[in-house]
Each structure stands twice: as C-alpha cells, then as structure tokens.
Chain A
C-alpha cells in the first residue's frame, strides 16, 4: 500500500563519494512507501545523487571531516529533500548552460541541470555560517508520475 505521508528522515554522512550509495538506499526505502511510479523514483534518486555529489565535491571539497546532511519529508502534498554542506557556498546563476552548443562537449557542469530536469522545483539557500542548502521538491499523487522525457522541456536558468 502506498501513502502520501512518510516519517521524516535525517541522515548525516562523511564527505566521501561511496556514502552516496547509503543515501540512495535510505532514499529508495522512503520513496517505496509513496505514490510514485518506478520512473519517478529512479529520476528522484538520480537528482539526489547529483545534489549529494555536489555537496561532497564542490561544497566540502571531499574533506571527510565535513558532513553532508540529507533531510527528507513530505509536506503539502510534495516530497521535499534538503541537502546541506559545510562549504563556502556558490552563485547558481554563474553555472553555464550545458545545452549551449559551446558546452555540449564539456566534461562537467551538468549536475544542477540533472536536478532541474528530474525534480519539479529546486531552491538554493545559504546557511548563516556558510554552506549551501539545496532543496529538491517533487509533487506527489497523480501529478507525481512521469519520465525524464516528460520534464525535458523545462528551462535551465
């Protein structure tokens, strides 16, 4: 039986890439309880992997002493996942458009693009003592279904 509510989950990991698998496992367990189809669960998982990878790589510079925290919950009919790091923050508007023909063959710069494509909405905020908090939102219920192709027409800011 699927639900529209799940218990809030909070997870804190050291800044090592292998810990992304731990986040993915916890996320999949939570998402399995929600009214989401296989595609939606898969693409949400990809988006969260990107956010956690960015927090580890660009935020915490892979310093294992620094933590990445993941908060997951449901409110107002939407799944909300916050990923926070202890880094110096950044300006999202300065991230180049990976669909620009000049950037298509660049090996990096697609992480935020992935998140925007696979979630309904993403927001950035910055902690009072530094660090980046990215919030990923996805509507639940009948509006929650869809593949990556369905989201392919969105705008990249």
Chain B
C-alpha cells in the first residue's frame, strides 16, 4: 500500500494504491487520515482507483476513518471505486452509509 497526499480546492486527497489489508495497508490508511486531520483539514477524499484488494480490516479502517472525520465535523468521501471493491462495499451494505462519488471532479465539487 502506497499513499500520496495532495490538496485540491481545499480538499485533502489521499491517493491509495495497492492492498488495504491487515497489518500493512490498514495501518497506512489510519496514519494518513490522522496526518491529514492534524494538518487542519477535515475535508478528506479517498481516491480508491488503484486499490486492488480490501479485506475486512481494510474495510474497518475506512469505517473508522469515516467516523473519526465525521465526529470532528468534517467529511470523508470516496471516489473511483474499482468493481471488486464496489462488490465488497455492496455486500457489507456500507454503500448505504459512506459518501461515494464517481470521479475526482464530482467528488471535489461536492465539498464546495
């Protein structure tokens, strides 16, 4: 799992690449979200386009990040969900609670 952080129009975008799985990727996501919050931006966007696999721990970290950001008055959203990750979000019914958008343009605009 590699994560690059960038800013666009007041939104912190985390580009996630690789596996969000137990022991490696899940911790990386947690650390990146915490770093973004410590940087003072509560509007965080997860770019999922290059996520290849997400196990239950990875799902757990996304959910925990969503709750943490929401509790701080911010908004955590996701975009660019690959088909198999989409399947996981569907069967876990997390599509009903997470804010998911199609692409970066739409996602960034949603914060304005």
Contacts and interface: CB of A to CB of B under 8 A. Distances in A.
Contact of A148 (B55, B66, B88): B88
Interface residues of B, number: 25
A62 B54 CA distance: 21
Given A104-B97, A105-B97, A106-B63, A152 B57 contact: no
Interface string A99-131: 100001111101101100100000000000000
A108 B88 CA distance: 15
Contacts of B63: 105-107
With most chain B CB atoms within 10 A of its CB, the pick from A17, A107, A108, A114 is A107
B60 interface: yes
A9 B99 CA distance: 43
Interface of B: 21-24, 53, 55-57, 59-61, 63-64, 66-67, 84, 87-88, 90-94, 96-97
Contacts of A104: 92-94, 96-97
Contacts of B23: 16-18, 20, 53
B63 to A, nearest CB: 5
B60 A20 contact: no
DSSP class of B's interface residues: helix, strand, loop or mixed? helix
Contacts of A114: 55-56
A78 interface: no
Contacts of A105: 63, 66-67, 97
B91 A50 contact: no
A18 B24 contact: yes
Given A17-B22, A49-B21, A108 B60 contact: yes
A50 B66 CA distance: 22
Given A18-B23, A53-B22, A99-B93, A147 B87 contact: yes
A152 to B, nearest CB: 5
Given A20-B22, A53-B57, 5 more contacts: A18-B24, A104-B93, A104-B94, A107-B60, A148-B91
A139 B90 CA distance: 24
Nearest to B64: A107
A42 interface: yes
A18 B25 CA distance: 11
A99 B92 CA distance: 6
Contacts of A107: 60-61, 63-64, 67
Interface string A78-112: 00000000000000000000110000111110110
Nearest to B94: A104
